[in-house]
Structure 1
Amino acid sequence: MNTPPRWPIGLRAAISTAIPVTTGWAAGAMSSGLIATLGAFTSRFGGDRPYANRGIELATVVVSLAAAVALGDWSAQVPWLGVLVVSSVAVAAVWLCNALTVGPPGAYIFVVACAAGIGVSAAHLTPWTIGLLVLAGGAVAWLVQMAGALFHFRKPERVAVAAAAEAVAGYIEAAHSPQERATRHRAASALHRSWSVLVNYQPLQARPSSVLHRLRAANHAVHVLFTMAVTAAAQGTAPAPETAEQARKLGALQLPPDVIASRDADRIPLGSPPLVTLLRRAISPGSPVRHIMQRVTVGALLSGAAAMTLGVDHAYWAMAAAVLVLHQGTDRSRTLRRGGERLLGTWVGLVLAGLILSLHPHDLWLVLLLALLNFVIEVLVVRNYALATVFITTAALTISSGTHAVDVGHLLLARGIDTLIGCAIGVAVYLVAVRWQESTRLTDAIGHTLEAAAQVLPYVAGGVTTGPAARAARRDLQLAAIALRESDEAALAGSARQKEVAEKLLPAVTATEQLAYRTIAACWTIEHRADGVEFGRSLFGGRSAQPHVEALAALAGAVRTGAPAPERSDPLPFLADEVTELRQSLAQDR
Structure 2
Amino acid sequence: MNPENASPGESTVVPAPRPARSVLFGLPPVGNRFPGAVRVALALAIPATVATLLGYGSASLLVGLGAFASIYGEGRPYRSRWKAVGIAALALTVLSFIGASVGEPIHRAISEGAPETLLILVILVMAVVVSTCAFTVDALRLGPPGAFFLLLTTEISSVIATPGQPPAEIAVWTAIGGVSALLVSMTGILWAPRAVEQAAVAAAVSAVDEYVAVTDQANRHAAALRLQDAWQCLYRGKIVGTEHPLTRELERAQMLMARALSDDHDPELMSDAAFDVDEIGVYPPLPYPTIRYRFLRVCNPSSRATITAIRLLLACTAAGSLTVLLGIDRPDWAVIAAAMVLHQGPDRILGTYRGIHRIGGTVLGLLVLGVVYLWGPSGLAMVAVLAVLQLGIELFLVRNYGVAVIFITPMAILLGAAGGAHGTVAHLILSRMLETAVGVVVALIVLWTVGRQAHRRTLEWVDGRAAHLLGVLLNDIRSAQRAPSAELCRDLEFELRGAAMAGIDAAHNEPDWATQKWAAHTELHHLGSDVLHRLSFGISVSRSHLDDWERRYASCRSS
Give the TM-score normalised by the residue count of structure 2.
0.80
Alignment match, 1:247: none
**Equivalent residue, structure 1, for 2:200:** 160
Give 1:167 shift. Answer: 5.5
1:198 corresponds to which of 222, 225, 234:
234
Q: Check whether the contact 1:449–1:480 (CA below 8 A) recurs between aligned residues.
A: yes
Q: Report if aligned partners of 1:380, 1:388 keep a CA contact under 8 Å in 2.
A: yes
**Cα distance in 2, alignment partners of residues 290 and 168 from structure 1:** 36
d(CA) in 1 for partners of 2:169, 2:236: 36
CA radius of gyration, larger in? 1
1:345 aligns with 2:361: yes
Residue 329, structure 1, aligned to residue 365, structure 2: no
3-state SS of the aligned residue for 1:439?
A: helix
Correspondence for 2:392: 376
Relative CO higher for 1 or 2, CA cutoff 8 Å, sep ≥ 6? 2
| Contact 2:337–2:440 (CA under 8 A) maintained in structure 1 | yes
Structure 2 regions of 5+ residues with no counterpart? 1-27, 107-118, 268-281
Deviation at 1:72, TM superposition (A): 0.4
TM-aligned CA deviation for residue 523 of structure 1: 1.3
User: What residue in structure 2 maps to residue 356 of structure 1?
Assistant: 372
Distance 1:277 1:127, change over 3 A: same
Q: Is the 8 A contact 1:227 1:520 kept in 2?
A: no
Match of 2:15 in 1: none
Q: CA separation of 1:196/1:385 partners in 2, compared to 1, >3 Å: closer, same or farther?
A: closer
Deviation at residue 509 of structure 1 after TM alignment: 3.6
Give 2:47's aligned amino acid: P
Q: Does 1:489 align with 2:504?
A: yes
Pairing 1:14–2:31 present: no
Query: d(CA) in 2 for partners of 1:448 and 1:31?
Result: 52
**RMSD (Å), alpha carbons:** 3.4
Contact 1:188 1:482 in 2 (8 A): no
Render the CA deviation track for 1:104-134: whole Å, top value 9, x for unaligned: 1111110110011111112743111211110
1:93 aligns with 2:133: yes
Q: What residue number does 2:529 align with?
A: 517
Identity of aligned residues (%): 27
| Aligned partner of 1:539 among 536, 540, 544 | 544
- Using a 3 Å threshold, how does the CA distance of structure 1 residues 437 and 28 change in structure 2: closer, same or farther? same
Which structure 1 segments of 5+ residues have no match? Answer: 237-259, 264-268, 559-564, 566-590
- Which residue does 1:478 correspond to in 2? 493
Q: Paired residues, what number?
A: 503
Partner Cα separation in structure 1 for residue 515 and residue 475 of structure 2:
33
Distance 1:186 1:514, change over 3 A: farther
Instruction: Give 1:404 shift.
Output: 5.2
Does the residue aligned with 1:122 lie in a helix, a strand or coil? coil
User: Counterparts of 1:543-558 in structure 2 under 5 Å?
Assistant: 549=550, 552=553, 555-556=556-557, 558=558
Matches within 5 A, 1:111-190: 111-122=151-162, 124-166=164-206, 179=217, 190=226
Distance 1:478 1:418, change over 3 A: same
Q: Distance in 2 between matches of 1:510 and 1:172?
A: 25
Contact 1:161 1:194 in 2 (8 A): yes
**2: distance between equivalents of 1:402 and 1:37?**
11
Q: What TM-score, normalized by structure 1, do the two folds share?
A: 0.76
Which range moved further: 347-356 or 314-323?
347-356
Aligned partners of 1:270 and 1:472 also within 8 Å: no
Task: Return the alpha-carbon distance in structure 2 between the equivalents of residues 470 and 184 of structure 1.
Answer: 31
Matched residue SS, 1:493: helix
1:464 to 475, 478, 482: 482
Amino acid at match of 1:286: S
Partner of 1:41: 68
Structural mapping, 1:81-480, within 5 Å: 81-122=121-162, 124-166=164-206, 179=217, 190-200=226-236, 202=238, 213-220=244-251, 223=254, 272-329=288-345, 331-401=347-417, 405=421, 406-458=423-475, 464-465=482-483, 469-480=484-495
Change (3 A) 1:374 1:187: closer
Q: 1:230 to 1:445 in 2, by over 3 A?
A: farther
**In structure 1, C-alpha distance between the alignment counterparts of 2:258 and 2:491, rounded to whole Å:** 16
TM-fit CA distance, 1:47: 0.7
Instruction: State the one-letter code of the partner of 2:482.
Output: V
